[in-house]
C-alpha cells in the first residue's frame, strides 16, 4: 500500500519493512520487538513507533475501492486472509506500543 503513497518514498526501505513487521506482530498479538529483531534490523522499537502509527493510519483510512485486485488476492486463505484483518484502534495501538 505504501508504494502508491508518495510520503513513504522518503523512508528507508529497511525501516519501512521493520515497521510493517512490528505492526503485524502487534496486530496479531505475537509479541513485541525482541533483542534479536533489534540486532538484525538495526532499529530499536522506539525508533519505529512513529512510522508504525502512520502505517496503521494508512490501513484504517485507505479507501476500499482502491487496489481491489490486491485486496482480493490477499483475502484468500493461501495468504492467511491478511486483507480481511481490521486495523488497530489508534489508542489501543498506542497502549500496545508503550508496553
Domains recognised in the chain with CATH numbers: 2-98 (1.10.472.10)
What pLDDT shows up at residue 10? Answer: 94
Work out the number of other CB atoms within 10 angstroms of the CB of residue 77: 7
Residue 68, pLDDT score: 82
Question: Does 42 or 81 have the greater pLDDT score?
Answer: 42
pLDDT digits (tens, 9 = 90+) for 2-20: 888 899 999 999 999 999 9
Closest CA to 31 of 41, 44, 42, 21: 21
Tens-digit pLDDT profile for residues 16-61: 999 999 999 999 899 889 999 999 999 999 999 999 999 999 888 8
Sequence-ordered list of residues with C-beta below 8 angstroms from that of 32, at least 6 positions apart, any chain: 22, 25, 26, 45, 99
pTM of the model: 0.85
Amino acid at each position: 500500500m505504501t508504494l502508491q503513497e508518495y510520503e513513504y518514498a522518503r523512508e528507508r526501505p529497511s525501516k519501512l519493512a521493520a515497521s510493517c513487521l512490528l505492526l503485524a506482530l502487534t496486530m496479531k498479538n505475537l509479541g513485541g520487538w525482541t533483542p534479536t529483531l533489534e540486532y538484525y534490523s538495526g532499529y530499536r522499537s522506539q525508533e519505529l513507533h512513529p512510522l508504525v502509527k502512520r502505517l496503521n493510519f494508512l490501513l484504517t483510512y485507505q479507501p476500499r475501492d482502491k487496489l481491489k485486485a490486491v485486496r482480493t488476492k490477499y483475502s484468500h486463505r493461501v495468504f492467511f486472509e491478511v486483507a480481511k484483518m481490521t486495523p488497530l484502534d489508534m489508542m489501543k495501538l498506542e497502549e500496545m506500543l508503550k508496553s
